[in-house]
C-alpha cells in the first residue's frame, strides 16, 4: 500500500467521515436498556459474538465478494444478496443509509463504480460499496476487510461508551481486547465465499428487532 492509499484509507474509515455512523447502535441501545450489556466485560462478550458470528463476519465476506467483482452485474448480485441478509428493517436501513452516504462522500476521490453513481435512488449496502470503491482505489482486499471491520467495531464501542455509560478508558480496553477477534475474523474471511455467509448472533439480531419499538432512544438502530 502506498503512502497516498494509506492516508486515503485513514480518511475514509475515520469516525469523522460523513456516513452518519454515530447514529447507529446495531441494537446495542436495546441491549443496554435490558441489562444485557452493562459493563466492559459484557460489552466484550457481546461484541465477540457480533464479530465472529454476526454482522462482523458477514460484512467481511460481503466486502471481499464486492472487491472481487469484475463487472456491474456481479456487483449488483452481491448488493442484492447483502440486502436480503438483513434480519430486520433497521439493520437494512443501517447498512444502506450508510452505504449510500459513503458512496456520496467518497465520490470526491472519483473511485465510485459507475453503476452506483448512475442511480442515486438505489440502496447500496455499506460493505458492498466499500469493497467496490477500495478496489478501484487500489486498496488491497485484505487491508480493506481488516480495517473496515475494525472501524465497525470501534463505532459500536463508541456507542456503548455513550449508552452504558462506559468511561473512555474502558472503551479503549474493550477495543484492545477485541483485536485478536478482529484480526482472526478478517483473516478467516479471506477464504470465504457466498456459501459461507451466515452466522448465529441471536441476541444481537433480536435486539435489532426490539429496537424498532423501543420507546426512548438516542440511536436510529
Question: Which residues are within 8 A (CB) of 46 and not within 5 positions of it... i.e. 6 or more apart?
Answer: 28, 31, 36, 37, 203, 204
- pTM, 2 dp: 0.96
Residue bearing cell 438505489: 122
Task: Report the SS3 class of residue 63.
Answer: helix
Residue 88's nearest CA partner among 199, 204, 197 is: 204
**C-alpha cell, 56:** 462482523
For the beta carbon of residue 10, count every other beta carbon within 10 angstroms. 11
In this prediction, residue 1 carries a pLDDT of: 85
In this prediction, residue 210 carries a pLDDT of: 87
Dist CA 40 CA 142 (whole Å):
29
**C-alpha cell, 129:** 460499496
Q: Count how many Cα atoms sit within 13 Å of the Cα of residue 63 in the half-sphere of its side chain.
A: 32
116 Cα distance to chain centroid: 19
Query: Could you say which DSSP state residue 119 is in?
Result: -
**C-alpha cell, 1:** 500500500
Dist CA 92 CA 82 (whole Å):
9
In this prediction, residue 144 carries a pLDDT of: 97
Dist CA 197 CA 105 (whole Å):
28
Task: Report the SS3 class of residue 70.
Answer: coil
Residue bearing cell 469516525: 15
Question: Which residues are within 8 A (CB) of 48 and not within 5 positions of it... i.e. 6 or more apart?
Answer: 178, 181
Fold of 26-212: Urease accessory protein UreF (1.10.4190)
Residue 36's nearest CA partner among 192, 178, 194, 160 is: 160
Dist CA 11 CA 20 (whole Å):
15
pLDDT 10s digit of each residue in the chain, 221 long? 899 999 999 999 998 899 999 899 999 999 999 999 999 999 999 999 999 999 999 999 999 999 999 999 999 999 999 999 999 999 999 999 999 999 999 999 999 998 888 776 789 999 999 999 999 999 999 999 999 999 999 999 999 999 999 999 999 999 999 999 999 999 999 999 999 998 889 899 999 998 989 988 889 98
Dist CA 129 CA 155 (whole Å):
18
Amino acid at each position: 500500500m502506498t503512502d497516498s492509499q494509506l492516508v486515503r484509507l485513514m480518511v475514509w474509515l475515520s469516525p469523522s467521515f460523513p456516513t452518519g455512523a454515530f447514529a447507529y447502535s446495531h441494537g446495542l441501545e436495546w441491549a443496554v436498556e435490558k441489562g444485557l450489556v452493562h459493563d466492559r466485560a459484557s460489552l466484550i462478550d457481546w461484541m465477540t459474538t457480533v464479530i465472529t458470528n454476526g454482522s462482523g463476519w458477514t460484512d467481511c465476506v460481503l466486502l471481499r465478494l464486492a472487491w472481487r467483482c469484475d463487472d456491474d452485474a456481479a456487483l449488483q448480485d452481491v448488493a442484492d444478496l447483502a440486502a436480503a441478509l438483513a434480519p430486520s428493517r433497521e439493520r437494512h436501513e443501517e447498512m444502506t443509509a450508510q452505504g449510500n452516504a459513503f458512496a456520496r462522500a467518497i465520490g470526491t476521490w472519483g473511485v465510485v463504480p459507475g453503476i452506483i453513481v448512475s442511480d442515486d435512488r438505489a440502496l447500496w449496502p455499506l460493505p458492498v460499496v466499500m469493497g467496490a470503491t477500495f478496489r478501484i482505489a487500489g486498496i488491497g482486499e485484505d487491508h480493506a476487510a481488516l480495517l473496515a471491520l475494525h472501524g465497525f467495531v470501534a463505532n459500536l464501542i463508541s456507542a456503548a461508551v455513550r449508552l452504558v455509560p462506559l468511561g473512555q478508558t474502558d472503551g479503549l480496553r474493550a477495543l484492545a481486547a477485541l483485536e485478536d477477534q478482529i484480526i482472526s475474523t478478517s483473516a478467516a474471511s479471506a477464504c470465504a465465499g457466498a456459501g459461507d455467509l451466515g452466522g448465529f448472533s441471536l441476541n444481537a439480531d433480536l435486539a435489532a428487532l426490539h429496537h424498532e419499538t423501543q420507546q426512548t432512544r438516542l440511536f436510529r438502530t
